[in-house]
Structure 1
Amino acid sequence: MKVRFLLFTILFAILFIGCSIQENNEIVYTGFIEGDEIDISTEVSGVLNDILVHEGESIKEGDLIAKVDTKSLSLQLKQVEAELKMAEAQLDKIKAGARSEEIRKAEVSLEEVKVLLEGAKDEYEYRLKNYNKINDLYKNSGASEQQVRDAKALLDSSYTKVQSLEKKYLQSKTQLELLLNGPTVEELNIAKAKVESINAKIELLKYQISKGDVVSTVDGVIQTINYNKGELVSAGSNIATIVDLNNLWVKIYVPQKELHKVSLNQEVLLTLDYKDKKIRGKVVYISPEAEFTPRNVESKESKEELVFAVKIKLIDKLSELKPGMLVDVHLDGDVK
């Protein structure tokens, strides 16, 4: 009986030792779940009217994070829309051409300037003859020097008046010809370009106003909020930082002697201590350079060992997986 008990004990010990060796030979590393950090920035400047999320809160892509005041942009939009109406009216006017009333008005204006110009020319001729007459008298002592100066001043004034009216006459004549001939291609293109330019300004302002609502670009967890309600922010300010839950990964450190067992795109098994569930992962990065084991490893021997950083992306998208969780990585585990 004692012999049987002894044999049974020896057999159990052998089996137990075999299992321990199998467990010890399995390559298992531990790391924390991490995620890409996404900065959510505002594209417009203004006062933060509201912050709608809290640190640690889970959000979805498109969720509203904050609202920036865009009142000044709305006022600019109204002003530019008024400019557009004026530009469109001017373009319509050019396309329609001159009306008969406008042509008649231009003809009357030209005729009036013509009459004034003829009168100014007659006056100039009179002043010129008078000046020459007085100047001749002055040479023969028949007129004073003051009379000559007065005559010359009247002559110069009438000459200036003729020049001014000649310029005005040419302008009136050109205006009438434009009305009779209709707009040129260049004038039409300029008017069209002005309308297009104002429309572009309107589209830009509308886009900027829409960006007053700062939304999340990914599913994730709010890690930090960097501003408070009521603060002034400029374009490009980082309102909040989000951890992307769609791109979770674990970084482990593999000793140089074990690195040959790891390859890119290799699928591995990950497990949680408190949950009996297999999680699939894939090796997406292997550091090309060795480093010493990070400081958070307490073993002196481990600290002095050269290791290579290996990044493993989580393939399975499980809602319970959160950044900061500790997981075991089984490089030799069955991933099926």
Structure 2
Amino acid sequence: MNYRHWLLPVMLIALSACDNNDKTFMVGTLERDRVEVSAESNEPIIAIHVSDGQMLETGDLMFEQDPARLENLLAQQIALKAQSAARLAELQRGPRPETIREARAQLESAQASAKNAAANLKRAQDIFDRDLSDQQSLDLATTRRKTAVAAEQAAAESLERLLNGTTVEELQQAAAALEATEAGVARIQLDIERLKIHAPVDGMLDKRLYQIGERPLAGATIGVVLDSSRTYARIYVPETLRSSVQPGRKLDVRIDGQERVFEGTVRWVSADASFTPYFALTEHDRSRLSYLAEVDVPGASSLPSGVPLEVDFPVAVSADD
């Protein structure tokens, strides 16, 4: 009779313990950060050096795009650079002696023409004053005189410009033009280099999204790499456990297909609640709010991503701690 009196409390305690384990039970999957590899250009893909599931190291060549169009642009820009460099060298050197001699000869020719035009104008004026010519002849001689004087002045200014040499402003403009073409060459060279797409992180190639011959849009994702630097469990924390699951908290992680219990550390818990996904917890808990969380599990780095797992507090720890 005494045996029956103490057996019932023991059973109630056991049931209470099982109920507490259910309340602290959280599920999720083993994950790694997904790094999207994108194409900066819309050139067609001409080579693929990786396959799905392949392990990669940072800098490994993954894809190559056609460089033909950019190479033609580069050749054009290099020619413009050479032209700008030659112009700057010409201004820095100053006018050649034969150019100055030519300008002096042109000035002498313009002076002679002006002198001749002045003499013709004087004769035309004398003839007009004696009523031996009309006004049109006088006007024509006057116009020729003015044209000759203007040509003489232009030749004189041209010679003076050559004798004074290149101005500071002209040199600055030529130097700026050369720098602009050099920057254009560097930009196109960088664009050509980026047609060879390399692995951004160490990890496994999850999926190639394009094949040889296809032309991705600029900025389109052409591959996904699973970053191997961090392995974590993505879990859903019930609302009742939110206050207990804080960054830095140690948790037990049980991964499907593994007998050992892994130690996990909470790294992040979302501040925004959502409804528990259909596969998490029990049927009556699916309508309750939960919080997405990430738990670092460094000991599981050799296991594949996407494996289901269960997370719980250590046996001696209650949800109210």
| Deviation by residue 1:278-315 (Cα, 9 ceiling, x = unmatched) | 54432122233443321224843122333333221333
Query: Structure 1 pair 258/113, CA: closer, same or farther in 2 (3 Å)?
Result: same
Whether the 8 Å contact between 2:25 and 2:281 is mirrored in structure 1 is: no
Post-superposition offset of 1:83: 2.0
How many percent of aligned residue pairs carry the same amino acid?
26
* Residue of structure 2 equivalent to 1:288: 271
Aligned to 2:175: 192
> 1:294 is paired with a residue of what secondary structure?
coil
Conserved in 2, the CA contact under 8 Å of 1:120 and 1:162?
yes
Question: Hey, what does 1:331 align to over in structure 2?
Answer: 313
Question: Do the aligned residues in 2 keep the contact of 1:255 with 1:307 (CA within 8 Å)?
Answer: yes
Partner of 1:221: 204
Superposed CA deviations along residues 61-101 of structure 1, whole A, max 9, x for unmatched, are 21222111122221222222222222222222222223322
Deviations 1:186-216 (A, max 9, x none): 1121121111111111111111111111122
> 3-state SS of the aligned residue for 2:79?
helix
Equivalent residues of 1:246, 1:317 under 8 A apart: no
* Counterpart Cα distance in 2 of 1:244 and 1:230: 28
1:285 is aligned with what amino acid? W
Map of 1:156-195 to 2, 5 A cutoff?
A: 156-195=139-178
Match of 2:117, as an amino acid? A
Contact 2:26 2:281 in 1 (8 A): no
Deviations 1:207-261 (A, max 9, x none): 1111111122122333333333223334322222333232433222233333333
Q: Deviations over 1:80-126 (max 9, x none)?
A: 22222222222222222233222212111221222223223333444
Aligned to 2:304: 322
Q: Could you tell me which amino acid in structure 1 is paired with residue 156 of structure 2?
A: K
Quickly say closer, same or farther: Cα 1:75–1:289, change in 2 above 3 A: closer
Deviation string for 1:27-83 (max 9, x for gaps)? 453321123322222223322222333333332221222111122221222222222
1:326 corresponds to which letter in structure 2? P
Given residue 214 of structure 1, which amino acid in structure 2 is its aligned partner?
A: I
Give the stretch that moved more between structures: 217-226 or 186-195: 217-226
Greater displacement, 72-81 / 156-165? 156-165
C-alpha contact 2:249 2:266 (8 A) present in aligned 1: yes
Structure 1 length normalisation: TM-score? 0.77
Instruction: Note the C-alpha offset of 1:132.
Output: 5.6
Match of 1:240 among 223, 234, 243: 223
**Equivalent-residue separation in structure 2 for 1:162 and 1:229 (angstroms):** 76
1:1-336 counterparts in 2 under 5 A? 25=21, 27-130=24-127, 136=131, 148=134, 152=136, 154-297=137-280, 299-316=282-299, 318=301, 320-332=302-314
* Structure-2 change in CA distance of 1:271 and 1:132 (3 Å): farther
- Say whether the 8 Å CA contact 2:84–2:177 is kept in structure 1: yes
Decide which structure has the larger Cα Rg and report it: 1
Q: Alpha carbons of 1:72 and 1:225: their partners in 2 closer, same or farther (altered >3 Å)? A: same
Are the aligned partners of 1:245 and 1:322 in contact in 2 as well (CA < 8 Å)?
no
Alpha-carbon separation, structure 1, partners of 2:250 and 2:165? 77
Q: Extract unaligned runs of 5+ from structure 1.
A: 1-13, 138-146
Aligned residues: 306
Query: What amino acid is the match of 1:96?
Result: R
Gaps of 5+ in 2: 1-9, 317-321
Bigger CA drift: 120-129 or 299-308? Answer: 120-129
Assess if the C-alpha contact under 8 Å between 2:27 and 2:281 holds in 1: no
> What SS does the aligned partner of 1:283 have?
strand
